[in-house]
């Protein structure tokens, strides 16, 4: 009977998002994009049957399909993710908090995945790249404006949501007679958490939830419209992007700001090439377990599982673009590890508090259920104890859901279009790419060359987006 009970409860346990995604991520990271698409499709079909995880899998689908060259399916996936998320824009923080607090009975993996702030911003950023690949500047602009709206939403709501969630966890703990603050002062608990999170806590995202990649791309889209008023907006955006970067990485964005300012007063921009390289793989979430104290003499400790960011090795550390007799070195546009870690750090106190209360509550609940079943030595109490232990083990899981196919960093360069309309790229991992056909100096147009290289030595997925002067650089009245 006891064995049958264990089998029933364990049957309810599923593998983590990290485990499910592992074959796809491994294929994607080595540049086997068709294989990644093949291994991912069954997962996507399964997740489309339920609302709980679908948003996350549509985000993965958008990235995987685009990198594999399946632009229409990427457009469709990101469109779903965008529309699914957009309904949360005007939602009060308390609504999300109530749903998350309800998960105290099990764990946070049962909550519908609604996306992080950077998920929403980057969903629209990547959709804009899809539209730019189709030379649809208008739709690209819509997507990038939506990315900016999500940034504003995060600034307005994030702090209140996290504070309210911490209060909910604290109230639930008090109701159970469990003091989370006392637990966090416990030397063993504090030492374990400091060891796991010490370095991560030092990482800070960009100010006000901004993603320089998104800000830069929005400014570039505005420049490509050829409108003087849009160029004026681009001037501000390029300066904002430059202000987020280290001094050594600002030169290209500052040059763009100057070109945009001149375009806003009627000067025709020169033909330009913009290279964007997405290198490496973004962080994963891994699980680590510690023992936390309980207010029970007979059950003094119980295990608790926490998520911790795991940073992947990088891809090409940079590139050199060659155009004619000139060469141009790449600069860092966005450190995506910093973006993810910044968001994670903001949520970390609430994650820890919820995990402590949930783990303690289940253990204490099992203890008192045994008491109610006739004492710890009765047959009924033994069944309760077994069920409780298996239930705790089954639900003692950290929420490891995270957008896995994001890059580790985004590198960029911009330079005048060459006379012959051909460029070459030398990547930091030794790959040489080219010639790539771009708009020539004489054409007066602009070209965006977008590359995805998820690990050193992986084949680059390349999209070249050319905008002839008739479509992009004839200054039009505002």
Give pLDDT tens digits along the chain (478 positions). 444 444 444 444 456 788 899 999 999 999 999 999 999 999 999 988 888 899 999 999 999 999 999 999 999 999 999 999 887 776 655 445 445 555 554 456 777 888 999 999 999 999 999 999 999 999 999 999 999 999 998 888 877 777 777 777 777 777 777 788 889 999 999 999 999 999 999 998 899 899 999 999 999 999 999 999 999 999 999 999 999 999 999 999 999 999 999 999 999 999 999 999 999 999 999 999 998 888 766 666 788 889 999 999 899 999 999 999 999 999 999 999 999 999 999 989 888 888 888 888 776 655 554 455 455 555 554 444 444 444 445 456 788 999 999 999 999 999 999 999 999 999 999 999 999 999 999 988 999 999 999 999 999 999 999 999 744 444 444 4
Q: Locate the DSSP E strands across 52-108.
A: none
| DSSP β-ladder status, 272-279 and 446-453 | parallel
- Indicate whether 477 belongs to any domain: no
SS3 283: coil
- Indicate whether 478 belongs to any domain: no
Write the DSSP assignment of 2-59 as a string of letters.
HHHHHHHHHTT----HHHHHHHHHHHHHTT-HHHHHHHHHHHHHHHTT-HHHHHHHHH
pLDDT at 50: 83
The answer to whether the CB of 330 falls within 8 A of the CB of 253 is no
Q: Which residues pair with 310 in a beta bridge?
A: 284
pLDDT at 474: 47
DSSP state of 194: H
- Indicate whether 392 belongs to any domain: yes
C-alpha distances in angstroms, 178 versus 385, 390, 441, 460? 21, 22, 69, 53
pLDDT at 438: 97
pLDDT at 99: 52
The answer to whether the CB of 363 falls within 8 A of the CB of 294 is yes
Give the distance, in angstroms, between the CA of residue 432 and the centroid of all CA atoms in the same chain.
29
- Indicate whether 221 belongs to any domain: yes
DSSP state of 405: T
The answer to whether the CB of 359 falls within 8 A of the CB of 303 is yes
pLDDT at 427: 98
Rounded CA separation 409/56 (Å): 20
Rounded CA separation 386/431 (Å): 57
Over its C-alpha atoms, the chain yields an Rg (Å, rounded) of: 25
- Indicate whether 437 belongs to any domain: yes
SS3 114: coil
Ramachandran angles phi, psi of 305, nearest 5°? -110, 135
- Indicate whether 353 belongs to any domain: yes
Q: Which domain range does residue 437 map to?
A: 2-472
Tokens 């030397």 sit on residue: 187
pLDDT at 437: 97
pLDDT at 383: 46
Q: Locate the DSSP E strands across 254-300.
A: 272-279, 284-293
The total number of structural domains that make up the chain: 1
Write the DSSP assignment of 294-319 as a string of letters.
-S-SSS-EEEEEEEEEEPPPPS---E
């Amino acid at each position: 009977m006891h064995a049958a009970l264990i089998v029933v409860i364990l049957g309810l346990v599923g593998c983590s998002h990290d485990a499910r995604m592992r074959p796809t991520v491994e294929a994607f990271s080595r540049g086997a994009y068709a294989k990644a698409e093949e291994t991912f499709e069954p997962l996507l079909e399964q997740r489309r049957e339920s609302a709980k995880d679908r948003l996350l899998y549509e985000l993965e689908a958008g990235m995987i399909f685009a990198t594999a060259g399946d632009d229409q399916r990427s457009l469709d996936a990101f469109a779903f993710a965008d529309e699914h998320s957009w309904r949360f824009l005007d939602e009060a923080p308390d609504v999300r908090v109530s749903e998350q607090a309800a998960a105290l009975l099990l764990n946070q993996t049962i909550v519908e995945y609604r996306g992080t702030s950077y998920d929403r911003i980057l969903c629209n950023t990547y959709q804009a790249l899809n539209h730019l690949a189709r030379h649809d500047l208008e739709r690209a602009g819509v997507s990038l404006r939506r990315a900016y709206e999500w940034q504003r939403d995060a600034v307005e709501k994030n702090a209140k949501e996290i504070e309210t969630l911490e209060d909910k966890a604290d109230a639930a703990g008090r109701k159970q007679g469990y003091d989370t603050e006392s637990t966090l002062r416990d030397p063993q608990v504090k030492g374990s958490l400091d060891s796991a999170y010490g370095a991560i806590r030092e990482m800070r995202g960009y100010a006000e939830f901004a993603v320089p990649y998104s800000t830069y791309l929005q400014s570039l889209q505005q420049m490509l419209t050829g409108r003087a008023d849009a160029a004026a907006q681009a001037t501000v955006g390029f300066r904002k992007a430059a202000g987020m970067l280290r001094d050594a990485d600002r030169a290209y964005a500052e040059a763009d700001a100057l070109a945009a300012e001149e375009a806003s007063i009627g000067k025709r921009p020169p033909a330009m090439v913009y290279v964007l390289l997405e290198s490496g793989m973004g962080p994963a979430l891994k699980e680590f377990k510690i023992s936390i104290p309980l207010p029970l003499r007979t059950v003094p400790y119980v295990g608790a599982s926490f998520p911790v960011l795991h940073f992947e090795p990088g891809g090409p550390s940079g590139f050199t673009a060659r155009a004619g007799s000139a060469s141009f070195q790449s600069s860092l546009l966005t450190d995506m590890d910093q973006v993810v870690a910044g968001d994670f750090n903001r949520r970390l106190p609430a994650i820890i508090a919820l995990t402590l209360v949930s783990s303690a509550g289940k253990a204490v609940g099992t203890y008192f259920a045994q008491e109610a079943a006739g004492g710890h030595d009765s047959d009924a109490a033994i069944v309760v104890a077994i069920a409780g232990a298996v239930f705790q083990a089954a639900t003692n899981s950290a929420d490891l859901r995270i957008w896995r196919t994001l890059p580790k960093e985004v590198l960029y360069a911009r330079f005048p279009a060459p006379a012959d309309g051909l460029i070459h790229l030398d990547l930091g991992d030794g790959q040489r790419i080219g010639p790539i056909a771009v708009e020539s100096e004489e054409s007066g147009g602009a070209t965006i060359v977008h590359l995805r290289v998820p690990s050193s030595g992986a084949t680059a997925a390349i999209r070249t987006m050319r905008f002839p002067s008739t479509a992009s650089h004839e200054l039009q009245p505002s």
